[in-house]
Amino acid sequence: MKRHVSAIIDDEPLEFLCDDGQTLLDVLRDVLHKTGTKEGCGTGDCGACSVQLNGRLVCACLVLAAEAEGARVDTVEGIAAEGELHPLQRRFLEQAALQCGVCTPGFLVAAKALLERNNDPSEEEVRYWLAGNLCRCTGYDKIVRSVLDAAADLRGETA
Amino acid sequence: MRYEVANTVEEAVAILGQAESGLYPLAGGTDLLAQIRSGRVAPDGVVDLKRIPELREIVADDAGYRIGAAVSGAELGEHHDLVADWPGVVEAAELIGSTQIQGRASMGGNLCNASPAADSVPALIAAGALCSIVGPGGRREVAVEDVVTGPGKTCLAPGEIVAHFSLSRPQPRSGDAYLRLIPRSEMDIAVVGVGVGLTLDADGVCIACRVALGAVAPTPLVVPDAAATLVGRSVSGAALDDLATAASAAAQPIDDMRGTREYRVHVTGVLARRAAMIAAERAGS
Ligand SMILES: Cc1cc2nc3c(=O)[nH]c(=O)nc-3n(C[C@H](O)[C@H](O)[C@H](O)COP(=O)(O)OP(=O)(O)OC[C@H]3O[C@@H](n4cnc5c(N)ncnc54)[C@H](O)[C@@H]3O)c2cc1C
Ligand code: FES
Ligand code: FES
């Protein structure tokens, strides 16, 4: 029998049906068709599936969809408010902080979670915070710069 | 696979205690859900413990702290009093995985998963932590060092769960610290982990000490012989040499791709010395 779950996903109250053993990642992608959230490893190692669950950064591949009952889930698909790119998204684009792009949604969600807590992180803080997000293409440097620049944007220090 | 929610400790025990329930407790799921996916374990279902208030809160009173077994590493790190009183325990819990893993991983799960390399366990042992275990037979209090009995094995009977950990208020001039060696600076399994908790007198002489080792034996080890090398001495010079020798002597590691036996034995002494220095500095400040 399918389980009925109600949650607020990207600011929208949603209901879905799932199997008890299904992960939140599987439901986001295969049931709700919110395929912005990616699957890299399925074991918590790569961060491609990063979402915020009740304001905590987590790997959606290590959460059961049933656990989301009554919860708030924020994915990469809610980051661009009303079609306006978030400073993180703008900086990633401008600085080409992505190549294949599979890791990008996870980096954006994780970096946004950091900047919500600390809008003036040091480079070291950014690198430690993002240590659970793997990228096979960019070499990380452009990602880290983009996050630092987006932080400056959010502090109103840049145009 | 079934998913059940327990709202109270009694409910959890009742569901898990049904004979042959085939259900596992679920805390943060960072071990369990990965193991289910890989097929290493195949439970009939899980019982989510995260809606049980006792498992989710940190309660501080004059006696000390009661830390819910399912409190996440991120939440521990945000509790300023706990960080001030037991920095070694919190730093160990915060070493578990990435920011994402920290959002879910609990000390209860770290202990009950019973990996020899679990980071928070030596720190809890060094801090003298107790855990409150509840099951069909009632509630009992067990020292953390008595919980893990082998790789993947604990003293928990079927239907029992760890409800909370207790830590006392530290004695004046006390400090604790946890250090681990991993091949990179984040996201790896400890090659060696060492927790030290100690208390100094007004002259800086160590009057009480606990030392615990991780990843160098089938279970985390409490090492009274190593602790005894510091008692009655100031935490420096020859005392630290003796501590390092005793800690190395207690290590019984395996050879594997993370390090040879010889290397691990040596590193155990090095980390014990450094952790004791940090603990002593914290005790003095
Ligand atoms: C990418 C990654 C990195 C990691 N890095 C580290 C690391 O650096 N150091 C480290 O030590 N570990 C690490 N781990 C392992 C894991 O995150 C930790 O062991 C964590 O503390 C487990 O806690 P949890 O709440 O997620 O447990 P769960 O996965 O929910 O549970 C683990 C086990 O304990 C049982 N259990 C859970 N809670 C209780 C309870 N209250 N009473 C009785 N039984 C219970 C479960 O049934 C299960 O068997 C890592 C894991 C991942 C995926
Ligand atoms: S897919 Fe979840 S961490 Fe890799
Ligand atoms: S851009 Fe390809 S993995 Fe990061």
Taking 80 as the threshold, does the pLDDT of residue B186 lie above it?
Answer: no
- CA torsion angle A112 A117 A119 A125 (round to 10): -90
Question: Which residue from B minimizes the CA distance to A129?
Answer: B99
Smallest Cα–Cα separation from B77: which of B101, B61, B55? B101
Instruction: Give the ligand with the smallest distance to the CA of B34.
Output: 1
Q: Kindly report, residue by residue over B230-242, the tens digit of the pLDDT.
A: 999 999 999 999 9
Contact B1 A21 (CB under 8 A): yes
pLDDT for residue B19: 65
Indicate yes or no: pTM above 0.95.
Answer: yes
Distance, in Å, from the CA atom of A53 to the CA atom of A37, rounded to the nearest integer, reads 13
Distance, in Å, from the CA atom of A157 to the CA atom of B247, rounded to the nearest integer, reads 52
Distance B110 CA to ligand 1 centre (A): 4
Contact A20 B2 (CB under 8 A): yes
Which domains does chain B carry?
55-168 (3.30.465.10), 174-284 (3.30.390.50)
Taking 80 as the threshold, does the pLDDT of residue B164 lie above it?
Answer: yes
Q: Kindly report, residue by residue over B247-265, the tens digit of the pLDDT.
A: 999 999 988 888 899 999 9
Sheet of B221-222, strand order: B174-181, B192-200, B206-214, B221-222
Instruction: Identify from A52, A67, A129 which residue to disrupt to test chain B contact, counting B C-beta atoms within 10 A and taking the largest count.
Output: A67
pLDDT for residue B187: 72
In testing the pocket of ligand 1, which one of B1, B15, B24, B31 has its CB within 8 Å of the most ligand atoms?
Answer: B31
Torsion over CA: B140, B141, B145, B151 (sign): positive
Taking 90 as the threshold, does the pLDDT of residue B18 lie above it?
Answer: no
pLDDT for residue A159: 58
Confidence band for B138, pLDDT divided at 50, 70 and 90: very high
CB B194 within 8 A of CB B268: yes
Mean pLDDT over B96-125 rounds to 97
Q: What percent of chain B has pLDDT over 70?
A: 100
Distance of alpha carbon B131 from the chain centroid = 11
Q: What percent of chain B has pLDDT over 90?
A: 92
Q: Kindly report, residue by residue over B187-218, the tens digit of the pLDDT.
A: 778 899 999 999 999 999 999 999 999 999 99
Distance B109 CA to ligand 1 centre (A): 4
Which domains does chain A carry?
3-78 (3.10.20.30), 87-154 (1.10.150.120)
Q: What percent of chain A has pLDDT over 90?
A: 96
Taking 80 as the threshold, does the pLDDT of residue B285 lie above it?
Answer: no
Q: What is the mean pLDDT of each run of 10 residues along chain A (159 residues)?
A: 96 97 98 97 97 98 98 97 93 96 98 97 97 96 98 89
Helices A87-94 and A104-117 meet at what angle, rounded to 10?
130
Q: Kindly report, residue by residue over B31-80, the tens digit of the pLDDT.
A: 999 999 999 999 999 999 999 999 999 999 999 999 999 999 999 999 99
C-alpha pair distances (Å), B109 with each of A61, B106, B156, B213: 18, 5, 13, 19
CB B65 within 8 A of CB B82: yes
A110 at B interface, C-beta within 8 A: yes
pLDDT for residue B21: 72
Distance of alpha carbon A134 from the chain centroid = 13
**So what's the ipTM on this one?**
0.96
Residue B92, token pair as written in the block: 């160990």
